[in-house]
Amino acid sequence: MTAIKVWIALTLLAATLTPLPALAFPTFEEVKAAYTPSEAWLLARDGRQLQSLRIDRQIRRLPWTSLSEVSTALCRAVIISEDKRFYEHSGVDWKAAGNAAWNNFRNTRTRGASTLTMQLAGLLDEEGKRHGRRSLFDKISQTATALQFEKSWTKKQILEAYLNLVNFRGEQQGIAAMSQTLFGKWPDGLDEQESALAAALIRAPNSSPQVVTKRACALLTEMGRASECADLSGLAQLALTGNLRHGETAPSRAPHLAHKLLTLPGQQLTSSLDGDLQSLATESLRRHLADLTKQNAQDGAVLVLDNASGEVLAWVGSSGDLSAATEVDGVTALRQAGSTLKPFLYALAFENRSLTPASLIEDAPLTLETGNGLYHPQNYEPQYQGWVSTRMALAGSLNVPAVKTLVRLGPDAFLQRLQLLGFDCLKEEGDWYGFSLALGSADVSVLMLANAYRTLANAGRWSPLRVTPDPMPSPAPCARDGCTGVFAGTSHTAFTPEAAFLVANILSDPSARAGTFGLESWLATPYWTAVKTGTSKDMRDNWCAGFSQHYTVVVWVGNAAGEPMHNVSGVSGAAPVWREVMDWLHRGDPTHGRPKHASQPPESPPGVVKTAIRFEPPKEPPRQEWFMAGTERKVIIAADNQSLARIEYPANGAILALDPDIPPQRQRLPLQLSAPAGTGWQWRMDNQPLGRADRKLLWLPQPGHHRLTLTDKTGKELDAVGFEVRALSEKSNKITARQH
């Protein structure tokens, strides 16, 4: 006994005399502040939690848990298991230390003498953690630290810190991670059995369920609850094999945006998302997709923007478990735009005064020759309507008039305007996309499309989007593919206010779209909105995009894998979700402090005028129509179709190559117009007459630069193109044409 007493005395002396390393003794507040969860959280604009995301894959730590959030049963089990005299000693249990030393001298196994305070000192000792086993000096230093802890920390603080830092099983560190992972509940709900199992894991974190059960039963017996051992084995088996988990308890309402924004463990980022709107949009999308299961539609996306600030108010990237590819973000994925690009085409035509909303375009079968063969654009419905005004063509989403408009404007001019609208994903030249660009053959994202429609809502002014509320700095959640340029760039004019106003006026006209959609549809809102639907080739993508005075909403419905849907149109697929979201935004909810928002039509800019018009012949009833100032007309005559007739082939800037091995007469070029020629129209090549433009004409090409012109019966030039003919000597070079 004398040797043991001497050892204890030396330990006491060393503990009191050993100098502590600098900064080795933190305050409780410092320890708590330095604690970093393995998760990161995306918050709604009001601070509510939207999404939890695991960042640190090495360890699992949930937010710091205060002692008031831990069940009494667990605190009692841990203290009895690890430090029965916790509330009696001052950091070191000398009685337990003496017993441990004596038993060690007798080579007898016994419970260790390390107190909770000493264990906490060890948990905070990173050097000790790295070494694993501690030397005698390490233990003496730990003892000294424990004595210091007890002088400046309260018992509650020591116990709270210990429960948050102690390792339980595997990667689980802290009481919250253990409780959620093993029992599927928070620490305040742990009962005596669960608490005993948790306490038993502290000494043997990775033991088998049988060993943990034995230790926990011994602890329950020591606590006077031996009867609880009866079914403890089954509970341990379920808990330690993960069968008591009930899924994620943290909200999961914005997973795709969270994965783009959250990068650091412990990060809490306040987003611009409205939590209630995010939930509503998600539920609406899922509910309507469930109704379309038989039509083979399982995926979708919803994006809601604040027109004024550019803040993203809702970002729903998929339908969740209804989808076979939940990780694919439909908001950023590139999909064919369908008819949703038509408003921008007509806005360009209005801006350069090629068309007015009253201009007549013939909706009739059309065949165009392209580098890839003949192109036959068709309407969504098989019938054609003949002469229609631009207003009716856009509102009714007629395809042939849109293609004729693009033929007149040129794919390059339209492409350049789309790029100005933020469609940075369109990297090729205009002729690569061809005339089908008018019908949305290009791939765009929900993000890009939504901001382009927001540009129309903002009188043609484009500005980048943001995912945090003003005036906070807003990180760019992504910068590639469907995100390219959306969150970066300076504000600029993409359309004149007059052109944007005319398009918005047409898209908000229920009478104009009645011929295609009827007067009663999902698009007919009781408040002012401008809206357009779209369906891509083979019904692979379904869109509804529109805006009110304050908000822009875009919905996409389809399949992440690109499979076609069956009989799903824009008005039956995406439009119901669009309408439900728009209604929620505007009706308000006074009981929850959400005000009602009225939506008024935009005021007409100074550059437009309203005029009474009539048609000859009366294909459409008389009406009041808006015009760009200077383009107004009171009588609209069907012959205006000829104004769309322009030189279609050869294209401006084309380079044509002659093959010397083919007889020249077999290499004649057909001169083609985009629409029937008017009476007396003539072709002229290099200022020399070629013949009538209303007849088929094959021109024998000559090497050199040429200028082809189209003139009316008075000799006035209507259109002109420049091109080059080259003579090649290699047999492999056939007649080709590439666009500049």
pLDDT band at 431 (very low <50, low <70, confident <90, very high): confident
Give the helix/strand (H/E) hosting 98: helix 94-105
Distance (Å, rounded) from C-alpha 452 to C-alpha 444? 11
Distance (Å, rounded) from C-alpha 475 to C-alpha 465? 10
- Looking at residue 28, its pLDDT comes to 95
Distance (Å, rounded) from C-alpha 316 to C-alpha 643? 44
pLDDT at 453 over 70: yes
Distance (Å, rounded) from C-alpha 552 to C-alpha 345? 19
With CA atoms as reference, report the closest residue to 350 among 453, 503, 547.
503
User: 658, 735 in Cβ contact below 8 A?
Assistant: yes
Ranking 42-56, 378-392, 399-413 by mean pLDDT, the lowest is: 378-392
Question: What three-state secondary structure class fits 516?
Answer: helix
- Looking at residue 567, its pLDDT comes to 85
Please state the rounded mean pLDDT for residues 357-368: 86
Angle at CA 645, nearest 5°, toward 643 and 650?
A: 145
Question: Using one digit for the tens of pLDDT, what is the confidence trace for 522-571?
Answer: 999 999 999 999 999 888 999 999 999 999 999 999 999 999 999 887 67
Q: What six digits make up the tokens of 250?
A: 């943290």
Distance (Å, rounded) from C-alpha 237 to C-alpha 568? 49
- Looking at residue 140, its pLDDT comes to 73
Distance (Å, rounded) from C-alpha 657 to C-alpha 465? 47
In the numeric block, the tokens 């093959």 are attached to: 659
Residues in the chain: 740
**Could you tell me the sign of the dihedral formed by the alpha carbons of 72, 77, 83, 84, in that order?**
positive
Query: In the sheet where 268-270 sits, what is the strand order?
Result: 49-54, 39-43, 268-270
Distance (Å, rounded) from C-alpha 277 to C-alpha 302? 11
Average pLDDT of the chain?
A: 87
Domains and CATH numbers, the chain: 1-34+66-167 (1.10.3810.10), 279-592 (3.40.710.10), 611-641 (no CATH), 647-738 (2.60.40.10)
Distance (Å, rounded) from C-alpha 36 to C-alpha 133? 25
Ranking 196-210, 579-593, 639-653 by mean pLDDT, the lowest is: 639-653
Give Cα 115 distance to the centre of its chain.
51
Distance (Å, rounded) from C-alpha 199 to C-alpha 205? 10
Distance (Å, rounded) from C-alpha 434 to C-alpha 407? 9
Task: Give 675 or 241, the one with higher predicted confidence.
Answer: 241
